[in-house]
Structure 1
Amino acid sequence: MKVIEVRDLRKRYKKKEALRGVSFEAERGDLGVLLGPDGAGKSTLLKVLAGVLEFDEGEVRVLGANFRDYREVERVRGRIAFMPEGLGHNLYHTLSVEENLDFFAEIHALPKEVARERKELLLKVTGLLEFREREAGKLSGGMMQKLGIACSLIHLPDLIILDEPTTGVDPISRREIWKLLLMVSQKEKKTVIISTSYTDEAERGTFFSLLHEGKVLKSMNPEELGDKSAGDIFVEMVGERKEEVSIPFGIRGEAPDPAIVVDRVSKFFGSFRALDGVSLEVRRGEVLGLLGPNGAGKTTLIKILVGLYEPSEGKVLVAGEDDPRRIKRRIGYMSQKFSLYSDLTVRENLLLWGSAYGILGGELSERIEEGLRMLRLEEFRNILVKDLPLGIKQRLGLLSSFLHGPPILFLDEPTSGVDPVERKFFWKLIKHLSEEKGVTVLVATHHMEEAEFCDRVCLLSRGRVIALDTPAVLKRELELVEGRAYEVKPRDLYSSLEALERKGLTVVPYGRRLKFFTKGETEEVLREIDYEWLREAEVSMEDVFVGRLERYEASQG
Structure 2
Amino acid sequence: MMVIEAKGLTKVFPLEDGRAVKALCGVDLSVPEGQLTALVGPDGAGKTTLMRLICGLMTKTAGRLAVAGIDVTAEPQAVQDLLSYMPQKFGLYEDLTVQENLDLYADLHGVPQDVREKRFAHLLAMTELAPFTARLAGKLSGGMKQKLGLACTLVRSPKLLLLDEPTVGVDPLSRRELWQILQQLVREEHLSVFVSTAYMEEAALCEMVYVLNRGRFLKVGTPQALRQIAAGTCYAVCPPAGMPLRSLQSRLLAEDGVLDAVPSGGVVRFTTRGEPQQLLVLARLGIGAEAVAPRLEDGFMTLLKEDAATDGKGDGLPETAANFGAGTFSAAPVSEAPVEIEVHDLVRKFGDFTAVAHTSFSVHRGEVFGLLGPNGAGKTTTFRMLCGLLPATSGRLSVAGVNLRTARIEARANVGYVAQKFSLYSSLSVYENLRFFGGAYGLSGYHLFERIEAVMAEFHLREVADQAAGSLPGGYKQRLSMAAALIHEPKILFLDEPTSGIDPLARRTFWREITALSERGTTIIITTHFMEEAEYCDRFMIQDHGRMLVLGSPEEIRQRMRLPDATMDDIFVAIVEQARSEAEKDSKAKGAVS
TM-score range, shorter chain: 0.7 to 0.9
Counterpart among 89, 98, 106 of residue 104 in structure 1: 106
- Tell me if the contact between 2:92 and 2:137 (Cα under 8 Å) persists in the aligned partners: no
Q: CA deviation at 1:347?
A: 2.9
Is 1:58 the counterpart of 2:63? The answer is: yes
Contact 1:455–1:470 (CA<8 Å) still a contact in 2? yes
1:20 aligns with 2:25: yes
- Match for residue 366 of structure 2? 285
Q: Secondary structure at the match of 1:245?
A: helix
Q: Which moved more, 1:471-480 or 1:288-297?
A: 471-480
Instruction: Give the CA deviation at 1:200.
Output: 3.6
Q: Percent sequence identity over matched residues?
A: 39
After the TM superposition, which residues 151-550 of structure 1 pair with which residues of structure 2 at under 5 Å, given as runs? 151-224=152-225, 225-226=227-228, 227-230=294-297, 232-233=301-302, 235-236=304-305, 237-238=307-308, 239-241=314-316, 245=321, 257-322=338-403, 323-337=407-421, 339-435=423-519, 437-479=520-562, 539-550=566-577
1:94 to 91, 96, 114: 96
- The alignment partner of 2:551 has SS state of strand
Compared CA separation, residues 135 and 412, structure 1 to 2 (3 A):
closer
The one-letter code sitting in structure 1 at the alignment partner of 2:142 is G
Distance 2:175 2:65 in 1: 30
Deviation at residue 548 of structure 1 after TM alignment: 1.6
Displacement, 1:422?
Answer: 2.4
The alpha carbon displacement at 1:77 in A equals: 4.4
Once residues 23 and 341 of structure 2 are traced to their aligned partners in structure 1, the CA distance between those partners, rounded to angstroms, is 45
| Contact residue 105 and residue 115 of structure 1 kept, 8 A | no
Q: 1:452 to 1:232 in 2, by over 3 A?
A: farther
> Is the 8 Å Cα contact of residues 38 and 197 (structure 1) preserved in structure 2?
no
Instruction: Return the offset for 1:261.
Output: 1.0
Rate the CA distance shift 1:347–1:139 in 2: closer, same or farther, 3 A: closer
How many angstroms apart in 2 are the aligned matches of 1:90 and 1:332? Answer: 32
Aligned position for 2:85: 82
Q: Does the aligned pair in 1 maintain the 2:98–2:148 contact within 8 Å? A: no
- Give the C-alpha shift of residue 176 in structure 1: 0.8
TM-score scaled by structure 2? 0.74
> Contact conserved, 1:241 with 1:421, CA < 8 A, in 2?
no
The amino acid across from 2:554 in the alignment is: P
Q: Structure 2: where are the runs of 5+ without partners?
A: 16-20, 229-293, 309-313, 325-333, 585-594
2:12 and 2:23 in contact (8 A); partners too: yes
1:182 deviates by 0.7
**Aligned counterparts of 2:129 and 2:142: Cα–Cα separation in 1:** 13
Displacement after TM superposition at 1:410 (Å): 1.2
Equivalent residue, structure 2, for 1:3: 3
What is the CA–CA distance in structure 2 between the aligned matches of 1:338 and 1:162, rounded to whole Å? 22
Matched residue of 1:332: which SS? strand
* Rounded Cα–Cα distance in structure 2 between residues aligned with 1:95 and 1:65: 36
How does the TM-score come out when normalised to structure 1? Answer: 0.79
Which amino acid in the other structure matches residue 240 of structure 1? D
Structure 2 vs 1, CA of residues 78 and 378 (structure 1 numbering), >3 Å: closer, same or farther?
closer
In 1: Cα distance, 2:400 partner to 2:498 partner:
22
* Cα RMSD (Å): 3.1
Query: Does the Cα contact within 8 Å between 2:532 and 2:568 map onto a contact in 1?
Result: yes
What one-letter code is carried by the residue in structure 2 that aligns with 1:100? L
The 8 Å contact of residues 9 and 60 in structure 1, kept in 2 or not, is answered as yes
Conserved 8 A contact 1:91-1:100: no
CA 1:259–1:109 in structure 2 vs 1: closer, same or farther (change >3 Å)?
A: closer
Are residues 131 and 247 of structure 1, via their aligned partners in 2, closer, same or farther at CA, if it must alter by over 3 Å? same
Matched to 1:427, the amino acid is: W
Confirm or deny: 8 A CA contact 1:347 1:368 kept in the other structure: yes
My pick for the range that moved more, 14-23 or 316-325, is 14-23
Letter in 2 for 1:397: S
| 1:212 CA displacement | 3.5
Is contact 1:110-1:155 (8 Å) kept? Answer: no
Q: Structure 1: any 5+ residue segments left out of the alignment?
A: 249-253, 485-537
Could you tell me how far apart the structure 2 residues matched to 1:363 and 1:92 are?
Answer: 45
Match of 2:265 in 1: none
The 3 A distance-change label for structure 1 pair 256 and 189 is same
C-alpha displacement of 1:263: 0.6
User: Using a 3 Å threshold, how does the CA distance of structure 1 residues 76 and 299 change in structure 2: closer, same or farther?
Assistant: closer
Alpha-carbon deviation of 1:456?
1.5
Letter in 1 for 2:63: G
Task: Give the deviation of 1:43 after TM superposition.
Answer: 2.7
Structure-1 separation of matches of 2:491 and 2:79: 59
Residue 303 of structure 1, CA deviation = 2.3
| Structure 2 SS opposite 1:259 | strand
Q: What residue in structure 2 maps to residue 506 of structure 1? A: none
- Report the count of equivalent residues: 491
Residue 211 and residue 155 in structure 1: after superposition, are their counterparts in 2 closer, same or farther (change >3 A)? same
